[in-house]
Amino acid sequence: MAGHAMVVKCNVESCMYNIKKMCHADELEVNPMDDSIPESSDETCCTTFRMHD
């Protein structure tokens, strides 16, 4: 989606894309925790997460 920029806050300090509580991944993917339809943010997860080396 070229031209679309979004600021994404991140409080997951163990993620390699987190720099000063901001996500610096080139792309962000958020999915349901399971096969159901989420009804709250608690039922979703960031699958872009990568652990710091």
Condensed to tens digits (0 to 9), the pLDDT of residues 7-47 reads 999 999 999 999 999 999 999 999 999 989 999 999 999 99
pLDDT at 2 over 80: no
What value, to the nearest 5°, has the Cα angle with vertex 46 and ends 45 and 50? 130
Domains in the chain: boundaries? 1-53
Rounded to whole angstroms, what are the CA distances from 43 to 3, 4, 26, 33, 39? 29, 26, 24, 5, 7
Predicted confidence at residue 6, as pLDDT, reads 87
Give the contacts of 26 (CB within 8 A, at least 6 positions apart).
none
